[in-house]
Amino acid sequence: MSLQPFKSIGIGAAFSPNLKANLYEAARLSLFLKSKLFLIHVGEVSDDKIKMLNFFLKPFEKDNLDYEVVYKPGRPVDVILSTTEEKNIDLLILGAVQRERFLKYYVGSIARKITRKAKCSVLLLIKPSVERVLCEHIVVNGLKDPKTEQTIKTAFYVGKQLKSKKITIVEEIKQDQVSVKVDDDKSLRKANIIKERIRLRENSRIKDIIEHIPEKYTKDVVTKLQPIFGKQGYSIGHYAQISRADLLVMNAPSKMTFWDRLFPHDIEHILTELPTDVLILQ
Amino acid sequence: MSPKKNKIKDFLSALPKNIFSGFVVSLIALPLGLGLAMASEAPPIAGIISAIVGGIVVFIFGGSYVTIAGPGNGLVGVLLIAITALGLESAYAAIICSGILILLLGFFRMGKLADFFPSSAIQGMLAAIGLIILGKQFHIMLAHKIKCEDTLDYLFEIPFTINHALNYQNKGLIFATLAGILSLAIMLFYSKIRNKYLQLIPAPMWIVILSIGFSYYFELVAHEANPIAKEYMISGIPSIQTIIADMHLPNFSSIGSFSFWSSVLAITLIASIESLLSIKAVDKLDPEKRRSNVNKDLKALGLATIGSGFLGGLNVVAVIARSSVNVNNGASNRSSNFFHAVFLVLFIVLFTTQLTRIPLPALMAILVYTGYKLASPNLIKKIFSIGKEQFIIFFVTLLVTLKIGLITGILAGVIVTLIIHIVINKTVSLFFRNVMKPNVLMYQEEGQDNYYVSVKHFCSFLNYYKLKDKLDAVPEDKDIIVDFSMCGFVDHTVMENMHDYQELFKKRDGHFDVIGLDMHDTDSEHPFALRRLLPVPNIIKNNLTRRQTSMEDLAKDYHLNYNSKKLRHVYFLNHFLFFNTKTINYIYNQLSYENSILNLFDIEFSEGEFIAKEVIRSTMLHIKLDHTIPEFTLDREGFLEKVYAFAGFKDIPIQNHSDFSNRFYLLGDNEEAITAFFNDDLVHFFESNPYYHVESNGESLLIFGKQRLASIKEIKALFDFGKRLKEVIEHE
């Protein structure tokens, strides 16, 4: 496992009311993760813009923040994606939109396109703030998937860097793994026995993964395992919301087709209903 | 001993009880079967045939335990239309097809079908069916056969029929009308009279017995012809030989027509909804707290319907009134269903000629009462108290069902409910954006035994099945917390179901808590009202009746605490055997003493369901004991107990106290501990004091006298009795 999975962090810098908060979040994260920050601006260079960005990032200079601003005109989605590839960016930060009147967040259309196409990890922020909000509780998926091991390791790494106190690994178990349908008392008992077995099996699988993580990442943090029988990708978001997690770490989906969007599953559920900040790992 | 052998032994030991309750049920099933069949314009015997086939097939293949299968009330409306539109022969074909569909519903695990309809719409539909039954049979009850085009016209004709009946000149018609009115009176007042001997025979059977007796009186004593007009006597009860000989094959020739299939669909829909609702309600009454396998039961009912259709019977559905009578008479497994069928066969074989002595109006009075119960003003009042919007849904469904038809009616109910939900929430997107989302999350925290369920977005009849799926996967003796705090809207259907779950969990030692609704707004104070996320002020009502004020005074005199409020959570009563087959609605007017060690209260509970339902109010005393004692039930000995003893209930004799053993009836599992517990002091205490029903659940006692509210004087006596009994018991 590489000790520093994120060498470079990218963020789109559009001149919106959220700019300051977005920059602060990105800069702080770059410092925590010891990575280089790339500000990607869709548009031409101008003195005003340079001045403004410099002004916003001034407070971080004393901490030796390493950053670079990229100016590139074009369509936002293309610009950001191409810059990510050119600059070898490992982690892209995107902001979410709040649905008016409700305390619900979703990913806007541009950010959504980027999320689907990006080849690097993506961090979706629901409410960037100028002041630091502690990231106390991280929820990470424990799906049975080849990517999961890396995801959990990265989650522990991020947790260590952000000084999180608690990491919950949620194992989503598909309903159809429980082969018995509940009809009466007898089948209910059977189903519960099967569920208990699956639960134990999943827990031992995750525990095995955790044991392979260097101890310095796991010792200061409370680790909890939570098996859930439910819809993959959706129930973990629901759980993160209930348990008031500050960050949700997920595997990137294997591939996306048109049908996946029409009948949303996995990550698409999360994109329409952001429960909290979400980190999607490639 | 192997568990299998044990099962057979248990089955055999429970057999007498099941035969007994099967017998009592058959007493209701006989008149109801005849009546329901005649109301659907099928030959009267068709109802009995479906009950017999249902009893036998569901006994073998069914998945429920104490439900009774037979011809259903709800089906009268659809079967009537099917038979008038298609003719009897083709209607049998439609019944067989609906049986196949119900069978398929069972195979495709569509036992959740009934959950997709808003409960007010179902209520409206059932009320419409009730009015159809009532409207049509009321005229026959008053010996005035008429023929109308529309179901509503039958209702509008009722005043004219009454007027007509008042001016009868014909002696035959007058007697027929009298028989009808008398029978209706029996149905109405039967549940009000709590006499043990009277209650042994169900009201419909009393009607049958009395009318047969009446006819014999004229034949054998007065030597006259029966004064009731000939055309108002039951006709066409064939003997068993002719039933078998006359078996006609159903006519499948109209199978291609539209009206055939619309009938099949309507019959299937109503039959499955009625069965599912009944199974659900009866599961709550099951003293052994088992969970019915709905899909298996649907399959059995479908199979029974196919068989019944071929034999010339009607649809077989799970029925609630008969099932609740079954439970109340001590049934413990499906064999009672079988015995009810056996007794029906015996009745038909032995008493065919006697059955033709029943006057039609008397039989129709039973149906009028059934119809009235389905659409009773109380029901409408209850729906109105839940909320005006529920009343609109109810009324629209009712009217459309009466005016157009059942399927259109229930669809109208669904659409109106949806529109009302949209209007109340002022948003369409809440529903359409989220309806497909898996909005329910359930998990069990590591190392903890309780389940936590969180519901997001909205929860209404549209997506209730998702919540139900999760909740059904939890054993009822566990703790479960349902959190609606992230749910913007919860409708009446869901609230009602949550209440049902609460009841179920309470009865089975679990806990079912609903949280997160404090921020939601309701229009009414009813616990089932729909809820929307918004802050709401609380209004507290306070006006006491005279009895309540005197109880308040009594509380002051005796230094007791008095609380007049209705309390719906009465966990402390759940372990008493007495409430096993009864549903506690609430307790109120509590008088408690010393940290509620002695707690006296008025209680409302109900026994049975639907037409066999009896709501009882009583005053009871609950005493917490400081040490455990054996579980027992003590009541006065009587004829009924002897009958029960015959059916397999055991009376524990106490040595050297033959007077006590003769006068009291003592029940319990642990005979040794009970005989040890009833020492001289205790026996003398009971012998020298007035009779009360005393029951112990091990940790506390429940004492009550009559099954009605006690007067202030009786309250004092009960209190005194309880106090002294406690002293005697704790003195040991």
Nearest CA in chain B to A236: B441
State the burial class of residue B633 (Cβ atoms within 10 Å of its Cβ: 0-12, 13-18, 19+): middle
- Amino acid B526: pLDDT: 66
Residue A213 in domain: yes
Task: Look at residue B247 in the predicted model and tell me its pLDDT.
Answer: 64
Render pLDDT for A211-225 as a digit per residue (tens, 0 to 9): 888 877 777 788 888
The phi and psi torsions of B186 (rounded to 5 degrees) equal: -60, -45
The predicted pLDDT at position B528 comes to 67
Query: What residues make up the domain containing A79?
Result: 1-133
Q: In terms of DSSP H, where are the helices of B647-707?
A: 658-663, 671-677, 680-687
- Interface contact B442-A238, CB threshold 8 A: no
Is the CB of B442 less than 8 angstroms away from the CB of A189?
Answer: no
- Whether A79 is covered by a domain: the verdict is yes
pLDDT grade, residue A256 (50/70/90)? Answer: low
Same domain as A16, residue A107: yes
- Judge whether A272 lies within some domain: no
Note whether B441 contacts A230, CB cutoff 8 Å.
yes
Q: Is B193 or A120 the better-scoring residue by pLDDT? A: A120
In the three-class reduction of DSSP (H, G, I as helix; E, B as strand; rest coil), residue A273 is classed as coil
Architecture in CATH for domain B433-533: 2-Layer Sandwich (3.30)
Same domain, A128 and A66: yes
DSSP H or E run through B487: strand B479-490
Same domain, A156 and A117: no
B213 contacts chain A (CB < 8 A)? no
Q: What does the pLDDT read at residue B541? A: 40
Cβ of A183 and B295 within 8 Å? yes
Residues A180 and A72 in one domain: no
Pairing of strands A222-229, A247-251: unpaired
**Same domain membership, residue A154 and residue A110:** no
In a domain, A46, yes or no: yes
Q: What is the pLDDT of residue B534?
A: 47
CATH of the domain at A179: 3.40.50.620
pLDDT band at A145 (very low <50, low <70, confident <90, very high): confident
- Residues B114-131: b if buried by 16+ CB within 10 A, e if exposed: bbebbbbbbbbbbbbbbb
> How many domains does chain A contain in total?
2
Question: Which of B456, B487, B505 is most worth mutating to test chain A (most A CB atoms within 10 A of its CB)?
Answer: B456
Would you state the structure tokens that stand for residue B180, as one six-digit string?
């009808």
| DSSP conformation class of A133 | P
Contacts of A91 (CB under 8 A, 6+ apart): A6, A8, A9, A10, A33, A35, A120, A121, A122, A123
Residues of chain B falling short of pLDDT 50: 1-3, 534-542
Helix locations, A164-250, DSSP H: 185-211, 215-218, 235-242
- Contact at 8 Å (CB) between B631 and B669? yes
CA distance B146 to B161: 9
For A:175-194, CB contacts with B below 8 A are 181-185, 187-189, 191-192
Q: Does A238 touch chain B (CB under 8 A)?
A: yes
Those of residues 65-104 in A touching chain B at CB distance below 8 A are none
Q: How far is B3 from chain A (nearest CA, A)?
A: 15
What residues of B are in contact with residue A191 (Cβ under 8 Å)? 473
Nearest chain A residue to B451, by CA: A228
Q: Could you tell me if A229 lies within 8 Å of chain B, comparing CB atoms?
A: yes
Identify the pLDDT of residue B639. Answer: 56
Q: Look up the pTM and report it.
A: 0.76
Residue-averaged pLDDT of chain A: 79
Q: Is residue A263 part of a domain?
A: no
Chain B: give the shortest CA distance to residue A199, in Å. Answer: 10
∠ CA B558-B563-B566, rounded to 5°: 145
CB B334 within 8 A of CB B56: no
Closest CA to B141 of B177, B185, B102: B177
Top residue of A178, A185, A224, A244 to mutate, by most chain B CBs within 10 Å, is A185
Chain B residues close to A192, C-beta within 8 Å: 473, 475
Q: Which residue has the higher pLDDT, A76 or B248?
A: A76
The bridge status of strand B700-704 relative to strand B693-696 is antiparallel
- Pick among B61, B283, B443, B504 to test the A interface (most A CBs inside 10 A): B443
> Among residues 97-136 of chain B, which lie with CB inside 8 Å of chain A?
109
Pair of tokens at residue B437: 């989302």
Q: How far apart are CA B310 and CA B43, in angstroms?
A: 14
* pLDDT of amino acid A1: 45
CA of B468 vs chain A CAs: smallest distance (Å): 12
Q: What is the DSSP letter of B115?
A: G
Q: pLDDT digits over A182-209, tens only?
A: 777 788 888 888 888 888 888 888 888 8
| Predicted interface score ipTM higher than 0.95 | no
Chain B residues closer than 8 Å to A229 by CB? 442-443, 473
Q: B365 vs A272, B51, B218, B350, B607, CA distance in Å?
A: 60, 20, 22, 25, 23
Which residues of chain A have a CB within 8 Å of the CB of B443? 226-230, 239
**Which residues are paired to B319 by β-bridges?**
B68
Judgement on whether residues A60 and A126 belong to the same structural domain of the protein: yes
Q: Indicate the pairing of strand B451-459 with strand B440-444.
A: antiparallel
Cβ count within 10 A of residue A17: 6
Q: Give me the phi and psi of B389, to 5 degrees please.
A: -65, -35
Residue A269 included in any domain: no
State how far residue A234 is from chain B, nearest Cα, in angstroms. Answer: 7
Which of A82, A106, A133 terminates a domain? The answer is: A133
The whole-number pLDDT of residue A38 equals: 85
CA distance B457 to B441: 12
Which residues from A are below 8 Å from B440, CB to CB? 230
B445 and A226 within 8 Å at the Cβ level: the answer is yes
Partnered with residue A8 across adjacent β-strands are A36
In angstroms, rounded to a whole number, what is the distance separating the alpha carbons of residues B397 and B720? 53
CATH 3.30.750.24 residue ranges in chain B?
A: 433-533
Q: How many CB atoms are located within 10 Å of the residue B75 CB? A: 27
Helix (H, G, I), strand (E, B) or coil at A199: helix
Q: Does A118 share its domain with A193?
A: no
Q: For chain A, say whether B485 makes contact (Cβ under 8 Å).
A: no
Using a CB-CB cut-off of 8 Å, the residues of chain A touching B451 are none
Whole-angstrom CA distances from A94 to A101, B427, B577 are 22, 29, 63
Residues 6+ apart with CB under 8 A from A3: A157
Contact A188 B473 (CB under 8 A): yes
Q: Are residues A2 and A120 part of one domain?
A: yes
Residue B436 dihedral angles phi and psi, to the nearest 5°: -90, -10
- Residue scoring higher pLDDT (A173 or A109): A173
Say which of A181, A189, A225 has its CB closest to residue B109: A181
Give per-residue pLDDT as tens, B623-662: 888 888 888 888 876 655 655 655 556 677 777 777 787 7
Residue of A182, A204, A225, A271 for testing the chain B interface, max B β-carbons within 10 Å: A182
> Quick one: A6 and A60 in the same domain?
yes
The mean per-residue pLDDT over the stretch A171-178 comes to 78
H/E stretch holding B632: strand B632-636
In the block, tokens 């990510």 appear at A84
Residue A271 lies in a domain: no
